[in-house]
C-alpha cells in the first residue's frame, strides 16, 4: 500500500468519526425534544381533566345556569339598593345657620328629657351625663355653622338624635362620652367621595356604663332602625371594676347563736318562758322618788357586712363599660338613567 492509499484511508476514517459524532448529537437533541413534548402533553392533559371536573366547565348548559344565577344576583342587588336608598332623605337642602341652631337646641332638649325619663341626671356634680352635652355639636351653641354645611349637618343631627333615643331606651346608668368627627363642609371644604364606594360614612364614638342588657338593647336598636343605617366598626367591653373581688372582701352576715331553749340572742326561753314573772309576784313597788336602777350597758351592735355587691361581681350582675365606634352610612343618590 502506497502513501496515497494510506492518506485516503485516514481521511475516510476521520470523516466517518465526525459523521458518527454528528449523528449522535442530533439523535440526542431529538430525544430531548420528544421528552419535552411528552411532558408538555401530559401537563396539558391533566389541566384539561381538572377543568372538565369543575362545575363551570364551558359547556352550553353551564353557561345557561351561570346566566340564570347572575340574573338572580342582579335582582337581589337591585332590591337591596332600593331598600338602602329608602334611608336616604329625598333632599338635603341647606338652611340659614340660625335655623340649624334652633333645631339643635330643640333636639338637645328632647334628648335630655329622654335621658331624664330613663333615670339619668343632667348637669349635676355627680350627673350621669357630660356637662354641656349637645349631641356632639357643642361648638354650634356659640358659633353659627357654615351655611353650606347645614344640609348634611341636619341629616347627621337627626341620626345622632335617634342614636341617643335608642340608648336612653336601653336603660344605661351613665353616658361616659360622645364624640363625632367633624365634616369637611364644616371647614368650608368640599367633600371628596372615595372611588368605588357607594356611600359616605359619618363616624362617631360613644361610651356608656350599664348592665349587660343595655348593650344588647342598644346594638339591637341600631340594627333595627328604619330611617338610618348604622355600622358598628369596633367595640370594646370591660367590667366596671378591672379586678375581681378578693376572698378578704367578703363579709357575709352571721346570725347570733341560739341559746338554751331555742331562743335567739340569749335568754332562757323554751320551757322557762315567763319564769321571771313568777319571781316575787307580791314584791313591794319601788317608792316614788327612789333613784332608778341603772340598766346594764347593752353590747354595741356590730355593723353587718353587705355581701350583695360581692355576689353581684361573682354572679355577673356588675355593670359594664361599653365603647363603640359607629358609622352612619349615607348612600349615594341613584344614578340618572341613561338617555
pLDDT along the chain (339 residues), means of 10: 63 68 63 79 83 71 86 88 81 91 94 92 74 90 91 95 96 94 92 89 96 95 94 93 69 58 49 48 56 58 55 66 96 69
- Structural domain boundaries of the chain? 15-84, 97-244+318-331
* Residue-level pLDDT at 5: 62
The count of other CB atoms within 10 Å of the CB of residue 224 is 9
* Residue-level pLDDT at 126: 66
pTM: 0.62
* Residue-level pLDDT at 150: 94
* Residue-level pLDDT at 6: 60
* Residue-level pLDDT at 272: 46
* Residue-level pLDDT at 251: 63
- Is domain 97-244+318-331 annotated with CATH 3.40.50.300? no
* Residue-level pLDDT at 268: 47
| C-alpha span between 257 and 266 (Å, rounded) | 8
The residue among 330, 324, 332 whose CA lies nearest residue 166 is 324
Amino acid at each position: 500500500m502506497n502513501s496515497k492509499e494510506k492518506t485516503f484511508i485516514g481521511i475516510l476514517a476521520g470523516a466517518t468519526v465526525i459523521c458518527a459524532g454528528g449523528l449522535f448529537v442530533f439523535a440526542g437533541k431529538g430525544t430531548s425534544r420528544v421528552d419535552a413534548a411528552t411532558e408538555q402533553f401530559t401537563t396539558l392533559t391533566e389541566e384539561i381533566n381538572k377543568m372538565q371536573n369543575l362545575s363551570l366547565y364551558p359547556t352550553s348548559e353551564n353557561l345557561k345556569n351561570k346566566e340564570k344565577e347572575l340574573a338572580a344576583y342582579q335582582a337581589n342587588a337591585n332590591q337591596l339598593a332600593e331598600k338602602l336608598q329608602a334611608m336616604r332623605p329625598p333632599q338635603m337642602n341647606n338652611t340659614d345657620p340660625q335655623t340649624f341652631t334652633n333645631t339643635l337646641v330643640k333636639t338637645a332638649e328632647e334628648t335630655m328629657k329622654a335621658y331624664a325619663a330613663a333615670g339619668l341626671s343632667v348637669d349635676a356634680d355627680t350627673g350621669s351625663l357630660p356637662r354641656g352635652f349637645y349631641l356632639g355639636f357643642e361648638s354650634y351653641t356659640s358659633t353659627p355653622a357654615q351655611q353650606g354645611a347645614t344640609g348634611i349637618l341636619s341629616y347627621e343631627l337627626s341620626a345622632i338624635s335617634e342614636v341617643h333615643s335608642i340608648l336612653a331606651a336601653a336603660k344605661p346608668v351613665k353616658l361616659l362620652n360622645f364624640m363625632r368627627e367633624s365634616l369637611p363642609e364644616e371647614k368650608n371644604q368640599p367633600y371628596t367621595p372615595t372611588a368605588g364606594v357607594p356611600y359616605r360614612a359619618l363616624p362617631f364614638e360613644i361610651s356608656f356604663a350599664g348592665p349587660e342588657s343595655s348593650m344588647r338593647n342598644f346594638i339591637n336598636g341600631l340594627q333595627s332602625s328604619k330611617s338610618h343605617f348604622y355600622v358598628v366598626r369596633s367595640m370594646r367591653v370591660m367590667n366596671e371594676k378591672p379586678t375581681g373581688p378578693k376572698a378578704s372582701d367578703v363579709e357575709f352576715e352571721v346570725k347570733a347563736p341560739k341559746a338554751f331553749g331555742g331562743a335567739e340572742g340569749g335568754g332562757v326561753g323554751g320551757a322557762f318562758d315567763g319564769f321571771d314573772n313568777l319571781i316575787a309576784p307580791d314584791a313591794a313597788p319601788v317608792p316614788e322618788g327612789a333613784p332608778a336602777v341603772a340598766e346594764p350597758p347593752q353590747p354595741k351592735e356590730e355593723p353587718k357586712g353587705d355581701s350583695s355587691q360581692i355576689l353581684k361581681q361573682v354572679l355577673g350582675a356588675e355593670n359594664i363599660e361599653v365603647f363603640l365606634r359607629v358609622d352612619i352610612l349615607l348612600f349615594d343618590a341613584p344614578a340618572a338613567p341613561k338617555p
